[in-house]
Chains A and B, each alone.
Chain A
Amino acid sequence: MSIFISGIILLGLFFLSLILSYPYKRLFGVKPSGKYTVYLHLLGWGMLVVGMILSIKTYGVGIGITYWFGYITLMAFLLVIGLSYKTKKEKKC
């Protein structure tokens, strides 16, 4: 279950990161058009909320919320490392 929750949070954060110009440019080479910003917001935050609900259902309110913050920290950490790795690879090309 914890892997499932982590995955959902990672996806949510990934969608949110696409709204910002820096990660988007790294991934696709162009600036974001801003067309899908609303949907990305909805998807990203929606998935974070789903992650929180699942976490609370699994671990109870107190520990669930604590773990949820922990999951976000870990997943955002992985995402940032992943994005900067992509940057380095592109530079070498």
Chain B
Amino acid sequence: MKDTFTKSMSWLHTWASLLLGWLLFFIFLTGTLGYFQKEITQWMKPELPISVNKFTQQELVQIAMNHLKKEAPSSKKWLIKLPNSRENILSVTWSHVRKDKATAMGGHGGGRGKRTTHIINPHTKEIVKPRRTGGGGLLYRMHYRLHYVNARTVGRYIVGIASMLMLIGLITGIIIHLRKILKDFFTFRQDRNLHSWLDGHIFTSVLALPFHLMITYSGLAFFVFTYMPLTALANYDGDMRNYIQEAFPREKAIKIQGIKEPLASIEQMRKNAEAYFGSPIKSISIINQGDSSAIVNFTRENSTLFSSEKADKVYFSGIDGKMIENQSPNRPKATRARDILTGLHRGDFANIYARWLYFLSGVLGTFMIATGLVIWTKKREAKQKDTLGFKLVDNLNMVTIAGLPIAVAVYFWANRLIPIDVPKRAMQEADAMFIAWLAVSVFVFSVNSRKMWVVLFYLSATLYALLPISNFFLTGRHLAITIAQGDWTLVWMDLMLFFTGLAFWYTGHKVQKKISS
């Protein structure tokens, strides 16, 4: 330990953050992309029909209902997912329930029979089969359970330890910097080596400090049962299932009565639900259709974070179409508190403006980690340049900060280039990403020179900038079409990829100037 409190904190800040800094960079980058996971997935499935948003909800529900009546007349569990501001997809799902069992309203089948999902093209009313891909969801899932780590808890533990270290880094950082927080708030001195790196580190940390604290703390709240299981085990007879059952009560199951009754008008219910929410509908689930026990429930598009889950769902009797009592179970208060933390982490409530704010904050966090890692080497450059430890950190910085974006770009390219009918296609896309990252590592460690920064940044720039252009040749979903059809999700994705390319080119250019001078 060091002689003064601040110095001890500074020591802790340096080493706690360095230890898993590279992993934290990975978590922050993939997690930040996760805020646009649905948009990324849509971009990665160019077979999906375009301009679905030109249809009204009424028309779409009609198309979906006709499809369900034709394809699954005997199923007792129908689900319709409507296109919304983030996803331009109309899909229907059904599952078959054993006759003697009751139909559970929520959940995902859970062994109650096979589930089938069809994505429908509303223009032609035909089924669409997009290419198999992990999409943005895979990137998002990587940020909390990593990849190639099969046992779920192992991935969660590793990420949990990294988050704890992040929290230590944040708190020690605040303590070191406490007196100067406001003074340096608006300071960003350029072109002065260590100074500008420090300013960059401080400004990305302080500006989004509420976000950094919230995201790290709430991130730990997700898997609190994995990290601290003993409290629950001690109070629930050593069986975690009892605890989960009480903490997360399931929706009721509805028993089939066996009396045939036609379903009331869905359109009328939809109108009432829309009026009730004051916002469009996201999904409709129809339980026990054709039976006297039929129930229909609607979910709203923008969920509300700080009111109970009940406010996001409304139920109707499937026979007379009248609104009935809310069937959602009451979640215990402790669960609600966790819901708020996790909802805040995922940005469940966020409209498009807030989503961009989340994204920006995430980018700032990623920069904070990157600048912090670089500062470690900058401070030791003069004295320890030739030591093994220094070289290891320096090279790992290159591999992570400049290499990971390349790996992500390769993931997108793999999505375009791997043939559509290859088995385990989604897995291969992810494999391509990690093979690329491994190749970058081998390259960096064998060349062992700072010039690799420039090479890697320019490579990133090329890969990203060419992606939107590749759409002209590979998918036919290029900017000329997407702009003309008004499919803004795809337009924005292409533009963002292109600007990311430009940003990497600019960074490479700057670094090149600095190295050569």
Tell me if B188 is interfacial: C-beta within 8 Å of chain A: yes
List which B387-443 residues lie within 8 A (CB) of chain A: none
Tell me if A87 is interfacial: C-beta within 8 Å of chain B: yes
Q: Known contacts A63-B305, A63-B306, A66-B344; is A73 also within 8 Å of B188 by CB?
A: no
Complex CA gap A69/B357 in Å reads 10
B225 to chain A, nearest CB (A): 25
Q: Known contacts A70-B361, A73-B364; is A17 also within 8 Å of B186 by CB?
A: yes
Q: Using an 8 Å CB-CB cutoff, how does the interface string of B345-378 with A read, 1 for contact, 0 for none?
A: 0000100011001101100100000000000000
List which A40-93 residues lie within 8 A (CB) of chain B: 60-63, 66-67, 69-71, 73-74, 76-77, 79-81, 83-84, 87-88
B361 contacts across to A, CB distance below 8 A: 70, 73
B354 contacts across to A, CB distance below 8 A: 66-67, 70
A63 contacts across to B, CB distance below 8 A: 305-306, 349
Contacting residue for B306 out of A2, A17, A61, CB 8 A: A61
Q: Known contacts A70-B354, A70-B357; is A77 also within 8 Å of B364 by CB?
A: yes
Q: Using an 8 Å CB-CB cutoff, how does the interface string of A21-34 with B read, 1 for contact, 0 for none?
A: 01100000000000
B375 to chain A, nearest CB (A): 18
B360 contacts across to A, CB distance below 8 A: 73-74, 77
Contact check, B186 vs A83: say whether CB atoms are below 8 A apart.
yes
Tell me if B496 is interfacial: C-beta within 8 Å of chain A: no
Interface size class of A (residues with CB under 8 A): 20 to 34
A83 contacts across to B, CB distance below 8 A: 186, 188
Contact check, B344 vs A80: say whether CB atoms are below 8 A apart.
no
A84 contacts across to B, CB distance below 8 A: 188-190
A66 contacts across to B, CB distance below 8 A: 344, 354
Contact check, A69 vs B210: say whether CB atoms are below 8 A apart.
yes
B340 contacts across to A, CB distance below 8 A: 62
Contact check, B187 vs A74: say whether CB atoms are below 8 A apart.
no
> How many chain-B residues does the 8 Å CB contact rule pick out?
25
> Which partner residue on chain A sits nearest B208 by CB separation?
A73
Contacting residue for A69 out of B189, B211, B306, B353, CB 8 A: B211
Tell me if B183 is interfacial: C-beta within 8 Å of chain A: yes
B268 to chain A, nearest CB (A): 31
Q: Known contacts A63-B306, A63-B349; is A73 also within 8 Å of B207 by CB?
A: yes
Contact check, A80 vs B349: say whether CB atoms are below 8 A apart.
no
Complex CA gap A56/B305 in Å reads 14
Q: Using an 8 Å CB-CB cutoff, how does the interface string of B312-342 with A read, 1 for contact, 0 for none?
A: 0000000000000000000000000000100
> Which partner residue on chain B sits nearest A84 by CB separation?
B188
Tell me if B464 is interfacial: C-beta within 8 Å of chain A: no
Contact check, B353 vs A76: say whether CB atoms are below 8 A apart.
no
Q: Known contacts A66-B344, A84-B190; is A73 also within 8 Å of B353 by CB?
A: no
Tell me if B182 is interfacial: C-beta within 8 Å of chain A: yes
Complex CA gap A55/B329 in Å reads 32
Contact check, B185 vs A17: say whether CB atoms are below 8 A apart.
yes
Tell me if B28 is interfacial: C-beta within 8 Å of chain A: no
A13 contacts across to B, CB distance below 8 A: 186
A43 to chain B, nearest CB (A): 15
Tell me if B504 is interfacial: C-beta within 8 Å of chain A: no
Contact check, A73 vs B306: say whether CB atoms are below 8 A apart.
no
Tell me if B203 is interfacial: C-beta within 8 Å of chain A: yes
Q: Known contacts A2-B353, A22-B186, A23-B187; is A76 also within 8 Å of B344 by CB?
A: no
Complex CA gap A83/B188 in Å reads 8
A67 contacts across to B, CB distance below 8 A: 354, 357
Q: Using an 8 Å CB-CB cutoff, how does the interface string of B177-194 with A read, 1 for contact, 0 for none?
A: 000001101111110000
A74 contacts across to B, CB distance below 8 A: 357, 360
A77 contacts across to B, CB distance below 8 A: 207, 360, 364
Complex CA gap A88/B354 in Å reads 31
Complex CA gap A67/B340 in Å reads 15
A61 to chain B, nearest CB (A): 7
B208 contacts across to A, CB distance below 8 A: 73
A71 contacts across to B, CB distance below 8 A: 357
B353 contacts across to A, CB distance below 8 A: 2
B50 to chain A, nearest CB (A): 30
B431 to chain A, nearest CB (A): 37
Complex CA gap A31/B165 in Å reads 40
Contact check, A88 vs B357: say whether CB atoms are below 8 A apart.
no
B211 contacts across to A, CB distance below 8 A: 69-70, 73
Q: Using an 8 Å CB-CB cutoff, how does the interface string of B50-80 with A read, 1 for contact, 0 for none?
A: 0000000000000000000000000000000
B185 contacts across to A, CB distance below 8 A: 16-17, 20, 76
A87 contacts across to B, CB distance below 8 A: 189-190
Complex CA gap A81/B364 in Å reads 13
Complex CA gap A22/B306 in Å reads 41
Interchain residue pairs A-B with the least CB separation, the first 4? A62-B306, A70-B357, A69-B210, A17-B186
Q: List 9 A-B contacts (CB under 8 A).
A: A13-B186, A62-B306, A69-B210, A70-B358, A73-B208, A73-B210, A73-B211, A73-B360, A87-B190
Known: A23-B186, A73-B207. 6 other contacts (CB 8 A): A62-B305, A66-B344, A69-B211, A73-B357, A74-B357, A84-B189
Name A's B-contacting residues (CB within 8 A): 2, 13, 16-17, 20, 22-23, 60-63, 66-67, 69-71, 73-74, 76-77, 79-81, 83-84, 87-88
